[in-house]
Amino acid sequence: MSARMVEPAPATQPADPDKLNAFLGRMVGDLGAIATGALVLLGDRLGLYRAMRSGEPITPDDLAQRTGTHERYVREWLSAQAAAGYVDCDDTAGTFNLNPEQAAVFADDDSPASMAGAFEVLSSLWLDEPKVADAFRHGRGLGWHEHSPCLFRGTERFFRPGYNANLVSSWLPALDGVVAKLERGATVADVGCGHGASTIVMARAFPQSQFVGFDYHAPSVEAATQAARNAGVTNVRFEVAHAKNFAGRYDLVAFFDCLHDMGDPVGAAAHVRESLNPDGTWMIVEPNATDSLRGNLNPVGRVYYAASTMVCTPCSLAQEVGLALGAQAGEARLRQVVTEGGFGRCRRAAETPFNIVLEARR
């Protein structure tokens, strides 16, 4: 059996010393961020941030006693957090504290700035890297359900603050006539609902309306059902179903950050159209991206492209058609999907730095 011929790599050009040093400096910063991410997960899981939420200075020993942890570990963790700028410190007094901005990011899940869930999402990228590497080699997809559970938990925690801050106050009011319908009593489907954060936010705000959350991932449906029960929301239920076969007729169908994950988003769009009442609305919330690669080369695009490489694109390729829009599909490509699905009208209704909200009608 003959060995496969491998073309030799071309000779590299000498590196410019100044550019190399600058790039290495950036690498040190990136490595620090990656390493600190594991410590964020640790502090979140052990309740260290929450125990510092008041902002009062605290010693490592006091924090250890509050959280049932060991002082020497806590002291090292606090020092690393101070080096990252994630906590403040008084080296003379030997105390540490969370300032209000740090507390909003790390210690308050209901804060619009909460980021603890994002670190849990990113941990799944490392855990599932071998599975994605195998998908790279063979061209197979990797289904959402095949990822580590921290992805499901982290996604809910990461997106929920944005839904709390924007969904009822700005996104729904930006849709033509939808809030009035919801206040009178409408039927709503939340497709790809995950753990149900978006569904519960809407159901709590509009008690006269009925909400159904659909997701193909049965454990997520179970988690959403329990979350609704814990929230005391009774005008909502959750069912296992795919985007192309969920049942019912609706005044509003919502897709939150999931259309680009679907193998056949055009088929999903066509099913939404069939499921809407004649004057119904399809609300599509997607990552905020431009239509060109150059326009997405920024900090937000960096995060979304990484997540898309490890989660969104493999998820789509694991399904029928496997269109693989990617998390940075851009508005023009999304509009094309909506149009090919049979909708005559589509407009950008609202946006945030992280999301765009499209409104589609017949």
Q: Is residue 6 part of a domain?
A: no
Answer yes or no: do 250 and 285 share one domain: yes
Residue 341 shares a structural domain with residue 264: yes
Q: What is the pLDDT of residues 1-15, one digit of tens each?
A: 444 555 666 667 889
Q: What domain range includes position 183?
A: 118-361
Residue reference for tokens 């994605």: 132
pTM passes above 0.75? yes
Query: CB 27: neighbour CB atoms within 10 A?
Result: 10
Spatial distance between the Cα atoms of 134 and 313, rounded to a whole number of angstroms: 14
Contacts 24+ apart (CB under 8 A), 144-148: 144/216, 144/217, 144/261, 144/311, 144/315, 145/216, 145/217, 145/219, 146/318, 147/311, 148/123, 148/124
pLDDT tens sequence across 45-101: 999 999 999 999 999 999 999 999 999 999 999 999 999 999 999 999 999 999 999
Looking at the structure, do residues 311 and 167 belong to the same domain, yes or no?
yes
- The verdict on 354 and 283 lying in the same domain is yes
Query: Is 12 part of any domain?
Result: no
Domain end point (choices 51, 80, 108): 108
Distance, in Å, from the CA atom of 132 to the CA atom of 327, rounded to the nearest integer, reads: 16
State whether residue 74 is helix, strand or coil.
Answer: helix
Coil, strand or helix at 284: strand
- CATH number of the CATH domain containing 146: 3.40.50.150
Phi-psi region at 55: left, alpha or beta (left = phi > 0; alpha = psi -120 to 50): left
- Across 164-194, b (16+ Cβ under 10 Å) vs e yields bbbbbeebbebbeebbebbeeebbbbbbbbb
Do 64 and 153 have their domain in common?
no
In this predicted model, what pLDDT tens digit does every residue of 298-340 receive, in sequence order? 999 999 999 999 999 999 999 999 999 999 999 999 999 999 9
Residue 289 CA neighbour count, 13 Å, CB half: 28
Residue 263 is classified by DSSP as S
**CATH number of the structural domain spanning residue 27:** 1.10.10.10
